[in-house]
Amino acid sequence: MIKKVLFAILLLAAISIIATNFIAKENESTQSKVESNQSATTGLTPGAEAPDFTLTDQNGETVHLSDYRGKKVILNFWATWCPPCRAEMPHMQQFHENNPDGDVEILAVNLTSQDKGDEAIRSFIDEFGLTFQIPMDESGEVAQAYQVRTVPTTYILNTKGEIAQKIVGPMDEQIMIEQTENLD
């Protein structure tokens, strides 16, 4: 008797697994429509629009965060004196090189006001051969706006400029891939 019950449970569960996976696929498209209707407000919580900023990067070019709408953004905050930032840099460069289509943009904001001067930052960039954009936060205002207390801190932004995730601590290439591939 109990044998039959167990077998029935097994069979029912297996059928339900197949059924739920079919239904789940049909529902996906309607769900994403509902989500896109929600309007975001500026803030630092997930779903909120990331605060805009204007900074100058290592090549003297002006960087407006809002110019990156339509692209996913890895917004990283770092300094040359921070060991985990050093550990993270090769992974970030690798991710940047392996993402030639450019649908994910890396903005690695240097905490210039807390760093050891222009020369130290330049030699750091040369040492790791960094080719992504490095906006310089000379006044410290952007780090303050993003409540960066420990470095590295990274915000992952979706194509609408909304915050999807905040990560404190270093990320490797795989984390960057996982964090950005299923993003809108």
Q: Could you report how far apart the first and last alpha carbons of the chain are, in Å?
A: 51
Interatomic CA distance for residues 3 and 168, integer angstroms = 51
- Give residue 106's identity as a one-letter amino acid code: I
User: In the range 25-64, which residues lie near other proteins by CB under 8 A?
Assistant: none
Min. distance of Cβ 19 from other proteins in angstroms? 10
88/136 with CB nearer other proteins: 88
Under the binding rule (CB under 8 A), the answer on residue 170 touching other proteins is yes
Q: Does 123 bind other proteins (CB under 8 A)?
A: no
Could you say which of 51, 159, 165, 183 contacts other proteins (CB under 8 A)? 165
Candidates 96-104, 105-113, 114-122, 162-170 — which segment interacts with other proteins by CB under 8 A? 162-170
| Residues 178, 137: Cα–Cα separation, whole Å | 28
Per the residue annotation, which of 50, 73, 79, 85 is the catalytic one?
A: 85
Q: Identify residues 139-158 at the interface with other proteins (CB under 8 A).
A: 150
DSSP string, 32-64: HHHHHHSPP-BSSSTTSBPPP-EEEETTS-EEE
Nearest of 37, 59, 62 to residue 47 by alpha carbon: 37
CA distances (Å), origin 100, targets 79, 91, 132, 157, 173: 26, 15, 11, 19, 15
Least Å distance, CB 108 to other proteins, is 17
Pattern 73-112, other proteins, x by CB under 8 A: ----------xx-xxx-xx---------------------
As a whole number of angstroms, the distance between CA 75 and CA 138 comes to 16
82 is catalytic: no
Residue 16 touches other proteins, criterion: CB under 8 A: yes
Residues binding other proteins (CB under 8 A): 1-3, 6-7, 9-10, 13-14, 16-17, 20-21, 24, 83-84, 86-88, 90-91, 150, 165-170, 172, 174-175, 178-179
